[in-house]
Amino acid sequence: MAYTILRGGRVLDIARGTADPADILIEGDTIREVGAPGCAAPAGAAEIAAARRLIHPGLVNAHTHSHGNLAKGMGDCWTLELLLTAAPWLGGNRGLDDLRLSAQIGAIEMMLKGCTACYDLFFEWPVPTREGLAAVASAYAELGMRAVIAPMVADRSFYEAIPGLAEALPPALQERVAGLRLAPGATTLAAIRGAFDAWSADRDLVRRAVAPTIPHHCSDEFILGCAALARDFGIGLHSHVAESKVQAVASLKVYGKTQTAHLDALGVLGPHFTVAHGVWLDEEDMARLGDHGASVAHNPGSNMRLGSGLADTRAMLDRRVNLGIGTDGASCADNQNMYEAMRLGSFVSKVQGPEWRRWLSTREAALAATEGSARALGLGGKIGRIAPGWKADLVLLDLDHPNWLPLNDPVNQLVHCEDGTAVDSVMIGGRMVVANRRPVGVDLARLSERAAAARERLAAANADSRRLYRALEPVVGSYCPGLARQPYHVHRFGARAE
């Protein structure tokens, strides 16, 4: 096994808040030793000079959507429900090359911005296929990025899932959205099982999971089918839960209880379960998640951009929920910058009230974006920390960059000052994937040409879906906020909020 040693850097220990000078010895893809500067290395070990570099564990994006990367910047004032209405326009007519290209663009952006692993809830219409999964998996594997890829699936369309919405549409539009019906649940589950059975990607680097998209967009039978898949393959389950107030209100109408209470009653919660967003979780929901050892992927950028609200991460931590941080997809967040997500995670907590002792600290935000997210990915204890036995997923920041002049406090500055511009190089599993601020082995000019060609083709192919969106926007954009005006109480920082 090949050895590498990083010499002369300062190694960040987030929990301790220190960045002491140390050398890091790596064997293959794993950290073997974090030793005193100048410590011995096996003969022939490759040496990487890391003077004036702060080395931090790679950031882990707990929630994104690779198909969103070709749709970045396509919308502005959209609620979650308008985004879902726009989905056929934003993501329609994607071929295998588009799935792959979209994942490549996102992976490159994430790596350039210090992120070394992600939980990718990708979408393939009309059902996930072996080829689609392979296209996305190969994008990550070839770039050397760690990923958990979860086909995002449902058996009810958005219009079937929101009570009263279909009926609120004029007849002509009712007919149009009927064409957006999803495949029967059994068909989708069989397709995933077939694709997972045929899985051929590097299983250490790229792993599988299942994402029933939003609980009430799925029949109970379908959710249980997803849970059975997760059990059979020993993989994670990930769902958008309590993201918007519309969802929270709709859940009461559909289930007579919260989404989380319903998932708990179905028996599908557990340490393998990740709730995305959780803005509208109540205290009992959080206790349920905490008691089951489940995770929340906190996406503060998306929650603000879509007007979903501000999640109460302190209340989650109080109830032992594992907290991870994500960017969400590029069609709603829009960049894939985990430094920004961490910073917003800190700020969103601080903006909620003057009870400063309950604010999320930079230490907590940084731990969430590393070890917390890692646990959500099912990689707890393997990635997210620089210590012997952990994977060599490392980011080298340039300490001569203005973000770090001067170096006062490494964790405060990582979360509140760094924005990705000081990233010099990135290593994943002992392999350099970003060097001298450039992605290794990537032809960016060619990527740019492919993106432009895909954009042109997809804009033409989805013109009709865009027109459909324009027709639906006034109806969905009035009906859903109307639903959200109904009272729904949660407690924030000990005070009642609506």
Q: Which residues bind Zn ion (CB under 5 A)?
A: 328
Taking only Cα atoms into account, the Rg of the chain, rounded to an integer number of angstroms, comes to 22
**Between 272 and 305, CB nearer to Zn ion:** 305
**Between 12 and 153, CB nearer to Zn ion:** 153
Q: What are phi and psi of 439, to 5 degrees?
A: -70, 130
What's the closest the beta carbon of residue 433 comes to Zn ion, in angstroms? Answer: 25
What's the closest the beta carbon of residue 329 comes to Zn ion, in angstroms? Answer: 6
List, in sequence order, every residue forming a beta bridge with 407; answer none if it has no partner: none
3-state DSSP assignment of residue 81? helix
CA distance 102 to 472: 26
Report the sign of the C-alpha dihedral through residues 174, 178, 180, 186, in that order.
positive
Calculate the alpha carbon distances from 345 to 236, 331, 337 in Å.
Answer: 24, 19, 12
What's the closest the beta carbon of residue 37 comes to Zn ion, in angstroms? Answer: 43
**Between 328 and 371, CB nearer to Zn ion:** 328
**Between 215 and 439, CB nearer to Zn ion:** 215
What's the closest the beta carbon of residue 328 comes to Zn ion, in angstroms? Answer: 5
What's the closest the beta carbon of residue 238 comes to Zn ion, in angstroms? Answer: 9
Which ranges of 152-214 would DSSP assign to H, the alpha helix? 158-161, 165-168, 171-178, 185-197
What's the closest the beta carbon of residue 335 comes to Zn ion, in angstroms? Answer: 15
**Between 81 and 328, CB nearer to Zn ion:** 328
List, in sequence order, every residue forming a beta bridge with 224; answer none if it has no partner: none
**Between 13 and 243, CB nearer to Zn ion:** 243
Cβ contact 169:202 at 8 Å = no
Give the relative orientation of helices 220-233 and 185-197 as an angle to the nearest 10 degrees.
10
Give the distance from CA 461 to its chain's centroid. Answer: 28
**Between 56 and 65, CB nearer to Zn ion:** 65
CA distance 401 to 208: 37
What's the closest the beta carbon of residue 63 comes to Zn ion, in angstroms? Answer: 6
**Between 328 and 340, CB nearer to Zn ion:** 328
List, in sequence order, every residue forming a beta bridge with 428; answer none if it has no partner: 431
What's the closest the beta carbon of residue 299 comes to Zn ion, in angstroms? Answer: 7
Cβ contact 261:290 at 8 Å = no
Burial (0-12, 13-18, 19+ Cβ within 10 Å), 73: exposed
**Between 29 and 328, CB nearer to Zn ion:** 328
Q: Pick from 346, 321, 182, 161: which is nearest to 244 by CA?
A: 161
Look at the block and give the residue holding tokens 């979860």.
Answer: 150
3-state DSSP assignment of residue 153? strand
Calculate the alpha carbon distances from 353 to 27, 349, 359, 477 in Å.
Answer: 47, 8, 9, 30
What's the closest the beta carbon of residue 208 comes to Zn ion, in angstroms? Answer: 18
Here the tokens at position 192 are: 């995933």
**Between 6 and 297, CB nearer to Zn ion:** 297
What's the closest the beta carbon of residue 62 comes to Zn ion, in angstroms? Answer: 10
